[in-house]
Structure 1
Amino acid sequence: MTQANSRKPRGFFKRFLNSRGGNVAMIYGLAMMPTIAAVGSAVDLTRAMVVKMRLGEALDAAGLAVGGTIGMSNSEMTAKAQQFFYANYPDSELGTVTSLTVSSSGYNNNLVTVAGTARVDTAFMGIFGVNYLDIGVNVQVTRESKGLEIALALDNTGSMASNGKMQALKSATLELINILFGDQNAPARLKMSLVPFSQTVKVDTAQFMNAGWMDTTGQSSSAKLNFDNNKYAFSVWTSMRNSSWGGCLEARPNGLEQLDTAPTAGNADSRFVPYFEPDGPDSSAYSGYTTYLSDGGNGNQDTRLKRSAKYVNQTKTNPNADCNLQKILPLTNNKVQLQSYVNGMVTTGNTHVELGASWGWRTLSPSAPYTEGSQYADPDWTKALVLMTDGLNTTPSNSTWHKSSYTAYNYLIRGQLGTTSASQSETNQNTRTQAACTNIKNAGIRVYSVLLEEDATAAKNLMRNCATDVSLYFESPSASELESVFQAIAQDLSNLRLSQ
C-alpha cells in the first residue's frame, strides 16, 4: 500500500511534464503574472491618486477658510479647518482620514500650513504584502495683511445704564479687540481708536490747547452765546479759581460738524469751542435750570444766565457737568491701552449720534485734530468705522425760556440745530447724522452700524442708511446678543486685512 501510494505522485508529475498542453498553460500563467501585477497595481495607484486629489481639494477649502482669518489661536484655526475640511471630505469618500493639522509661521504668522493624511486599502497589491497606501498632502496659504485702521464710536449715554447694556457693550468691544489683535499686543499693521459719545465728546485738554485747535479767544460764532460783556468760556474760566476746562466740546457750527475740516486760525468756526454749562437763573420763578451760583442781580432768564460777573473768583466745577465720560483715544496699536479705555467707559447724558460719527471720522483722518490716520489714498491701509447707539437722537427739552438743557448744541433757543422746536431739532439731528455718514463713506471709509434694543423705525432707517451696505447694518434686540454682533463685525474686519 505504501509503495503503491509513493509511485502515484511520480507518475502524475511524469505525465504532467510530458504533457504539451500543461507546459503551455504553465508558461502562459507565469508570463501573465507581471501583467496581472502591473494592472492590479495600476488600479490601486489610481485609487490612491483619487484620494490624493480629493484630499487636496478638501485641504484647499480648509486652507482658504483659515487663511481668511486673523487673530485666531491655533486651536481656533484647527477647529475652523476641520469644519471646512470634513464638509468637503465626508466619511463616504474613498480613503480614511488619519490626520489633519494646522500651523502658522513667518512674519506675524502670515504663513498658514494645513496638512492632512488619508489611508486607502489596496485591492491587488496585497499579494506583494502591501495592504494599504498612506497619502499625504499639505497646503500653504500666505496671508498678506493690509493695514487696518478702525474707529469705534460707542454710545455712552445715560440710557446705556439700563438692562445691563453698558456691561454688554464693554464685553462685546473687548471681544472684538481680542479677535482682531489675537495674541499680539502691538501689531504693526493694526490701529484702533475709541470714541465714547453722549451729548458731547471729551478730548485730551493739553493736546488740544497746545496744538492751537481750541477757540481760546472767542472768535467762533458760537463762543459768546451764553455770556455778556463780550465774554466767552475761556475768559470766564480765567476769572474763576481752581476751575478749568474739563475737555468736552460743543459741536462746530455752520455744517462744520459733519466735515473733516482741520481747525485753523483762518476759519474761526473750524476751531473747537469748549463745553461750558452755564449757571441758570436761581429764582424760584424759573424752574428747570441747573443752578450752582447766585445770579448777582435781577433781569429776565437770559440776562441772569448770561451774567459773566457771577463767575469771578468762584471755585465751582459745575461748568463741566456731564463731562465725566471717557476721553477719546486716538488710533493706537496698544492692545492693553485699548482694553483699559473700554473698561473705563461710563454712562452720562443724552444721545447725539452725529458727534460719534464725526469724531470717529476725525480719528481716522490724516489731518488735524488727529493725525495718526494714514492717507486716504494709501492702498496698503483700509479704514473702517463702527458706529453703535441704543436709540434716537434726542433734545432734552424743558419748559424754560431756553427750551432745553445744555448740550453740545447749546440751548435749543440758540438755534444751533437750525430750529427752536424740540421735535424739529431731533429731525434735524437725524439729517445731520445722515450727512456725516454720507461724507464719511464718500471718503472711502467702510461704515458698520449697530442699533441696540431700539424698535423705532426712524432709528432703524437712520442707522441702516449710515452703513456702507445693508449687510453692514446690525440690530441687537437685547444686550445679550451684542457680543455675537461684534464678533461678526470683527470677522469681517479681519477679512478686510487680506490682500485681494
Structure 2
Amino acid sequence: MLVTAFLSRIRAAAARFSAVTDGNVAAMFAVAAVPIVCFVGVAIDYSRANSARSSMQAALDSTALMVAKDLSSGTITTSQVTAKAQAYFTALYTNTDAKSSVTVNATYTAASSSSTSTILVTGSGSVKTDFLKFAGYSPNISFNSSSTSTWGNAKMRVALVLDNTGSMAQNGKITALRNAVAGSGGLIDQLSALSKTNGDVYISVIPFAKVVNVGASNYTQSYIDWTDWLNPPTTQPANAVTSGSSNSLQAGLPINWHAVGPGARCPWTNSSGGFTCQQSPTSTQSASTVPSSGTYKGYVCPSVDYNSHTLYNGCWVSTQVGTTAQVFCTGNNNCSCPLNSLGLPVTGCGCSTTGGVKSCSGYIYTHDWTQPGPNDTAHNTYQPRVSAVVGWTSNQYTAANPTPTVTNNWQQASTNPITNWTGCITDRTQPNDATGVLPDTHDVTTQFPANEYYENNSSYCSSSASTPLEPIIPLSYNWSALKTAVNAMQPTGGTDQAVGLAWGWQSLLPNGPLNTPAEDSNTTYNRVIILLSDGLNTEDRWPAYGDGSSQANGNPIDVRQALMCQNLQNAKDTNGNPMYTIYTIQVNTDSPQDPTSTVLQNCASSPDKFYMLTSSSQIVTTFNTIGTALSKLRVAK
C-alpha cells in the first residue's frame, strides 16, 4: 500500500545517507527523519481514531434521543429498544474507517421513586493503524462511547384554555375542538403517552365564555370575592368604570326612593338603571309595579342587568315608617311622587312648592337589601355581610343632603344566600385582572369575584341551563375524566379570553385556588398554555368595555388581556428562562372573516406559536402539530 512504499523509500534513503562519510549533517538528518515520520504517522492514526469516535458520539446522541422519543410516545415497546437503536445508529454513523467494526447496545431503565427513565446507548469500534503497527504497536486503535437520554426529570403541565362561546356552535367548531383534544389520538392521548409515572404530565381544562365556572360547591373558598354578587345594583364599582366618552353605568337611588312601596311603579328601566323589576328575589319574570300582596309584598327586586348581563341576588324590602305622610324629598325640581300602575301618584302622596322650594310628602319606607347586614349575627353566618348604602338620613332627600348614607341593616336570613351561587367567576379587580398574583384574604383585589352571569334567558353556570358552561378541571392525569369534561363542552355565552387565560395561569401556580400540585425544586417543568378562541373579545366584567357584540372604542378588553400576556411572557424561572410557553389559536370561519386578533397573535411566545385557522378541520391538525412539538419538548437530553 502507499504507506508501505513510502516507508521503504525512507529506509533506502537512510541507508544511502549512512554510507556517505563526507556528509555528516545529511546522515544525521536521515537518522532523525525516521522517528519524525513515525510521530507524524502516529498522529495521523490517532486523528483518524478520534474522528471515528467523535462521529460515533454524535450518532449515539441522536440515537438516544430518537429512541427515547419513540418509547415515550408509545411508538415502540421496551423490548424493541436495542433493535431500534441499532437501526438508527446504522443510518446515522457514516465514518468509513471504523464502520465495519462497530457494535452498539441500548439499555432502558424505568423510572423509580428516586430516579428518572433513561436510555443508555453504548458503542465501540476500532480503526486499523497504518503507522503504529510498524512501530511495534497494535494494528488497531479501539474506542468506545455512550449517550444517555433522560426523560421524566422534565415534567409537563399543560393548561387548555378553550373557547366555549355561542359562536363555537357554528361550522362544526365545537365538535372539531372536542375531537382535537379528547378524540382518539387527540392531544390528551398524545400527552398522556409521554407519562410513564403518574404526575409526569398534568393537564387542566379551562372552558370560558364571559366568565369561567369554578363549580358551585366552592362557595366556602376564601379566594372568592362576594362584593358584587351580594351587593345591590347601586353598589357595583365595575359598572362605574367608563370607557372613552361613555357615561357611568352605575345605577343610583331615585330621589323619591323613600316613597316607593307596595303598588308603586318600578323606579328603574333599562335606560335609567340598566335593569327593571321582577316578581321575587329568584324570579326572572318582570314586574311593572312593586308587589302589593303576597309573600313578597313591598319587595323591590331588580332584574338581570341590561348592561352587564348579570343577575342581582337580593331585593330591597319596603318597611313602612309610621302611619302618616312625611316629607321624603325637598329642594329639587325632580322631586315627585311615585306613580302607580294607572300612572297616578301613589295613595297619600302629594307635592307643593313654597318660596320656590319643591317638597313632596307621602307614606315613608326604609329599604334594606335582603342580604344580612353588618349587625346580623344570627343568619347566614357562613357568608359575608353587606354594608351597601340603601337610603338617605332621616329617610328623605334634601338639597343639602343629596348623597345616600344609610347602610344596610337586614337582620334576617338571606333571600338568596351564597349557597345558591352557580359557580361563575369574572375578572379580578384591576390591576390584578392582568397578574398571576395568588389570592390573599387581606386584599380583596387579589380575590376572584363571584358572578351570576345571565344572558339570552340562561344562567350559564347553572347545571340546569340548556347549554351550561362546564366547570374548570384543575391539573389532572385522570385522562378519562379530562376527556369526559372536554366532550361535555357546549357553546354558550359571550367572549372574554382574558378570564380564561387568567385561570389557565392560575391552574399552573402551586398554592393557588385550584390546588395545583407542588413543584420539586430539583425537577425541570415545562409549563404550557394553549389558548383557542373563535372570535374577538366582546364583553367582560366592565360593561362599558363591551356590550356582548362588540368592544368599546380603543379595545379596552384587549388592552387588559395584552397586559396579562406581557406579564406571562416576562415571568422567568429560577434559571432566568421563560416560565411559560404560550400557544394561541384563532379560529376564523366567519364570512366575512374577523380581522386577525392582534392580542392573540402577540400573546404567543413566538410567531410560530400563533395559528390562524380558516376552517374547523384545521383544529384537529393544529392540535396534532402542537402535541408533536410538546412531545419533542418532553424528551430532554
Task: Give the structure-2-normalised TM-score.
Answer: 0.51
Query: Residues 65-464 of structure 1 correspond to what in structure 2 (within 5 A)?
Result: 65-67=66-68, 71-75=72-76, 85=89, 88-89=92-93, 104-107=108-111, 110-114=117-121, 139-143=147-151, 145-174=153-182, 175-182=186-193, 184=195, 187-211=198-222, 213-215=224-226, 217-218=230-231, 221-222=237-238, 233-235=312-314, 239=415, 244-261=420-437, 262=439, 264=441, 266-267=443-444, 270-277=447-454, 290=457, 324-372=468-516, 374=518, 380-394=524-538, 408-409=540-541, 414-415=543-544, 417=545, 422-424=550-552, 427-444=555-572, 445-454=579-588, 458-464=595-601
1:251-309 Cα distance to aligned partner (Å, 9 max, x none): 3343432223415354268341222427xxxxxxxxxx7499xxxxxxxxxxxxxxxxx
Give the deviation of 1:193 after TM superposition: 0.9
Contact 1:155–1:198 under 8 Å retained in 2: yes
1:189-237 Cα distance to aligned partner (Å, 9 max, x none): 3322110112221112112434462406438634996688698844469
Moved more, 383-392 or 488-497: 488-497
Distance 2:621 2:440 in 1: 38
Q: Which runs of 5+ in 1 are unaligned?
A: 1-45, 121-134, 279-288, 293-315, 396-407
Aligned AA for 2:432? L
1:487 aligns to 2:633 (yes or no): no
Task: State the secondary structure of the residue aligned to 2:220.
Answer: helix
Q: Give the aligned partner of residue 405 of structure 1.
A: none
Taking structure 1 as reference, are residues 167 and 112 closer, same or farther at Cα in structure 2, changes over 3 Å only? farther
Task: State the secondary structure of the residue aligned to 1:394.
Answer: coil
Q: Give the aligned partner of residue 359 of structure 2.
A: none
Give the deviation of 1:434 after TM superposition: 1.3
Taking structure 1 as reference, are residues 450 and 69 closer, same or farther at Cα in structure 2, changes over 3 Å only? farther
Aligned AA for 2:209? S
Distance 1:269 1:47 in 2: 65
Give the deviation of 1:70 after TM superposition: 7.5
Contact 1:111–1:142 under 8 Å retained in 2: yes
Contact 1:374–1:381 under 8 Å retained in 2: no
Contact 1:452–1:475 under 8 Å retained in 2: yes
1:423-472 Cα distance to aligned partner (Å, 9 max, x none): 42682222222122112222344242332442868434322200122232
Task: State the secondary structure of the residue aligned to 1:164.
Answer: helix
Distance 1:64 1:269 in 2: 44
Task: Give the structure-1-normalised TM-score.
Answer: 0.63
Contact 2:120–2:149 under 8 Å retained in 1: yes
Taking structure 1 as reference, are residues 67 and 420 closer, same or farther at Cα in structure 2, changes over 3 Å only? closer
Contact 2:119–2:149 under 8 Å retained in 1: yes
Taking structure 1 as reference, are residues 266 and 427 closer, same or farther at Cα in structure 2, changes over 3 Å only? closer
Task: State the secondary structure of the residue aligned to 2:514.
Answer: coil
Distance 1:189 1:447 in 2: 17
Q: Which runs of 5+ in 2 are unaligned?
A: 1-46, 128-142, 240-249, 252-274, 278-299, 303-310, 316-370, 372-413, 573-578
Moved more, 319-328 or 158-167: 319-328
Distance 1:93 1:322 in 2: 73
1:36-55 Cα distance to aligned partner (Å, 9 max, x none): xxxxxxxxxx9999988766
Aligned AA for 1:73? G
Query: Residues 468-479 of structure 1 correspond to what in structure 2 (within 5 A)?
Result: 468-479=605-616
Task: State the secondary structure of the residue aligned to 2:560.
Answer: helix
Contact 1:430–1:462 under 8 Å retained in 2: yes
Taking structure 1 as reference, are residues 330 and 136 closer, same or farther at Cα in structure 2, changes over 3 Å only? same
Considering fraction of residues, name the structure with more strand: 2
Q: Give aligned-pair identity as a percent.
A: 23
Contact 2:551–2:557 under 8 Å retained in 1: no
Contact 2:586–2:600 under 8 Å retained in 1: no
Aligned AA for 2:64? G
Task: State the secondary structure of the residue aligned to 1:206.
Answer: helix
1:157-178 Cα distance to aligned partner (Å, 9 max, x none): 2232333322322232232222
Task: State the secondary structure of the residue aligned to 1:112.
Answer: strand
Contact 1:195–1:328 under 8 Å retained in 2: yes
Give the deviation of 1:153 after TM superposition: 0.4
Q: Give the aligned partner of residue 322 of structure 2.
A: none
Distance 2:474 2:187 in 1: 17
Give the deviation of 1:146 after TM superposition: 2.3
Taking structure 1 as reference, are residues 324 and 291 closer, same or farther at Cα in structure 2, changes over 3 Å only? closer
Contact 1:245–1:320 under 8 Å retained in 2: no
Contact 1:97–1:116 under 8 Å retained in 2: no
Considering fraction of residues, name the structure with more helix: 1
Task: State the secondary structure of the residue aligned to 1:326.
Answer: coil
Contact 1:153–1:197 under 8 Å retained in 2: yes
Contact 2:470–2:485 under 8 Å retained in 1: yes
Taking structure 1 as reference, are residues 61 and 256 closer, same or farther at Cα in structure 2, changes over 3 Å only? closer
1:62 aligns to 2:196 (yes or no): no
Contact 1:322–1:348 under 8 Å retained in 2: no
